[in-house]
Amino acid sequence: ADVGDGKPTASRACVKAPLWLLAFSAQHRYPILPVSKTTAYLDFRYNSIRLVSLSLSLSLSDVIKLQLVDAGLVECLLEVVAQTVDSDREEDVAQLKTASDLMVLLLLGDESMQKLFEGGKGSVFQRVLSWVPSNNHQLQLAGALAIANFARNDGNCIHMVDTGIVQKLLELLDRHVEEGNVTVQHAALSALRNLAIPVVNKSKMLLAGVSDVVLKFLKSEMPPVQFKLLGTLRMLIDTQADAAEQLGTKAKLVERLVEWCEAKDHAGVMGESNRLLSALIRHSKSKDVVRTVIQGGGVKHLVTMATSEHMIMQNEALVALGLIAALNLDCAEQDFVGANLVQVLHKLLTDEHSAPEIKYNSMILICSVMGSEPLHKEVQSLAFIDVVSSLRSDENKTVAHQASLTEQRLTAQS
């Protein structure tokens, strides 16, 4: 289960079946079996060992995945599922799991995935969708993972949202709020996150109540679920001001985000919490959201985020901090001082490795905090005028221009 590594990502990740299927592939090389609908090797109903062998091979090559799809492997797998789904026999349960896991593995290849999608009208795609409302947890899991993997380009995502798949996922999640099957929760949230990436899908998914259902999992103590719910909410509110304001004024959500911002044992959860906290401010530009974040203790985490090794996270933090300073400097003043904001900005501006965006937004923020007496004094004590003056000759024209403006501002208020 994916809990993230703290690195910001904007792409749709392939969502893999349980990792035991891949764990041996780096250590063993299994022969690729010739596949056809009449091949004796593919007596899947009674030869699960061959299925496992194939599953290990599938992890190695997208070309192999496509060849196996072309050869009819999918139909064989669907037959295994149909014959074993109602059985309680241990052997059948194992075969059902292996067959459905293999289906998900086949979808990790872009070409094989698109071939099976068939514009959203493919029989295989429809069969896999029917697994989501199943009472079998393994099929629920495989169905949700399959949707997440089909949702790897905008066209597929838009089609699936327009044909009501979101509602199926929400109903599945509702069934697991109390049951608490972590793997199903994680898979369904992964699918929703991917579906929320296209701009045209965001408002539709918000109207469908996605954020309300996702918020039910705030109480989860499982990092994989936490990571995916944070990513889903962040994708949903991107460019959606009303939704960002609605969520950003929920004190319980902000308190939970602040708690997860300190989850040092789970870098992915910590990173996504910071990014969502910033996104709530950036996309809402709301005084009420800023007040909620300040009262919830979020400012210090955004200052820390500005020191991230990832430029995109630094920039998101600086923009959010700039909005806080512009909208409610008086309330944020004490938190800015306590978090050593001015010292952080000084370090960013004197670091030769800082990106132009970081330098630009750091200077904007310096100007924004000059209305605070204690912050103003810190700016003066660190000789910011000298630092900014040196940036007037920066090779980036935008940075150089902002340095000139900032120097004028600092000189006028010195």
Sign of the CA dihedral running 300, 303, 304, 305: positive
Please give the Cα distance from 361 to 402 (Å, whole number). 9
Which residues lie closer than 8 Å to 219 by C-beta, 6 or more apart? Answer: none
Would you state the pLDDT for residue 349? 97
On the CB side of 44, how many CA atoms lie within 13 Å of its CA?
A: 31
C-alpha of 163 from chain center = 23
Total Cβ atoms within 10 A of residue 134? 16
Would you state the pLDDT for residue 14? 53
Q: Which stretches in the chain have pLDDT values below 70?
A: 1-60, 179
Would you state the pLDDT for residue 33? 36
Backbone angles phi, psi at 44, to 5 degrees: -65, -30
Q: What is the pLDDT of residues 201-227, one digit of tens each?
A: 999 999 999 999 999 999 999 999 999
Would you state the pLDDT for residue 66? 86
Nearest to 52 by CA among 68, 30, 35, 69: 30
Number of H helices, E strands in the chain: 25, 0
Q: What is the pLDDT of residues 343-352, one digit of tens each?
A: 999 999 999 9
